[in-house]
Amino acid sequence: MILLNFKTYKETYGNKAIELAKIVKKVADKTGIRMIVVASALDAARISKETGVEVWLQNVDEYSGGRATGWTSMDQARALGIKGSLLNHSEHGKPKGTILKIIKGKPDDFEICLCIGSLGQIEKWGAQAGADYIMFEPPSLIASKDKSIATEEPKMIMHVVEKAPGTKIVAGAGIKSKSDVEICLKMGAVGVVSASDFVLSADPEKELMELVEGFTGIIH
């Protein structure tokens, strides 16, 4: 499983998001690996409709609809074909109580990937939160050009997997190579998340294919 987080990089504005998403769809179809575009709420429905790739949101809020000006509704997302969302990304933090409320109220057909950056949070409440996935990424390594969670903190991934036995773990922060992916999977993650390496590359398809090589023999 590979998540491609488009964040709000200007390289993903408008038609550029569609071009990147088409690459993700092409590589997913070719390799059989589950790939998800994690899109801006402004683009998510369009990307899903025009490319057919699986799309998640970068954030979802606790209000389902009606009088909830400016919030992102899970019900609205589902109605538009969006299949899931990140929650509590280190760039979009939420109070613990709100996170637990959102996860508790979510339907089975909408997947939530709870983002956590410290082992302590996993131990204290993250492992029991009931998320479909936990994305573990140390904030200090996000968008690093020469380091990653795999090169700097590989054993942390293993500890997260041990501490949250009922939840699938996705690893991220600085992921940019076949070796990064191999290490994450070896430590027990079911997949990885990449943003800057893919979105900012002059050749995103080549970068994505390199990440795919890390899955050789293991398809999630």
Q: Which residues are catalytic?
A: 89, 137
Compute the distance between CA of residue 151 and CA of residue 121 in angstroms, rounded to an integer: 22
21-60 footprint of ligand G3P as x/- string (CB under 6 A): ----------------------------------------
Is the distance from CB of 198 to CB of 208 less than 8 angstroms?
Answer: yes
Secondary structure of 42-94 in HEC code, one letter for each residue: CCHHHHHHHHCCEEEECCCCCCCCCCCCCCCCHHHHHHCCCCEEEECCCCCCC
Instruction: Tell whether residue 196 is a contact of ligand G3P (CB under 6 A).
Output: yes
Which of 43, 61, 153, 197 binds ligand G3P (CB under 6 A)? It is 197
Q: If DSSP codes are grouped into helix, strand and coil, which group holds residue 143?
A: coil
User: Which residues does 166 contact at the CB level (< 8 Å), separation at least 6?
Assistant: 127
Which of 2, 173, 181, 187 binds ligand G3P (CB under 6 A)? It is 173
Instruction: Tell whether residue 143 is a contact of ligand G3P (CB under 6 A).
Output: yes
CA 45 to chain centre: 17
For ligand G3P, the closer of residues 62 and 152 by Cβ is 152
Residue in this structure with the two tokens 């590979």, named with its chain if needed: 2
Nearest residue to ligand G3P, by Cβ distance, number only: 196
Instruction: Tell whether residue 169 is a contact of ligand G3P (CB under 6 A).
Output: no
Structure tokens at 64: 């389902």
Instruction: Tell whether residue 17 is a contact of ligand G3P (CB under 6 A).
Output: no
Instruction: Tell whether residue 174 is a contact of ligand G3P (CB under 6 A).
Output: yes
Instruction: Tell whether residue 137 is a contact of ligand G3P (CB under 6 A).
Output: yes
Instruction: Tell whether residue 172 is a contact of ligand G3P (CB under 6 A).
Output: yes
Residue in this structure with the two tokens 């209000």, named with its chain if needed: 63
For ligand G3P, the closer of residues 80 and 143 by Cβ is 143
Q: If DSSP codes are grouped into helix, strand and coil, which group holds residue 113?
A: strand
Residues binding ligand G3P: number (CB under 6 A): 14
Instruction: Tell whether residue 84 is a contact of ligand G3P (CB under 6 A).
Output: no
Q: Which residues bind ligand G3P (CB under 6 A)?
A: 5, 89, 137, 142-143, 172-175, 193-197
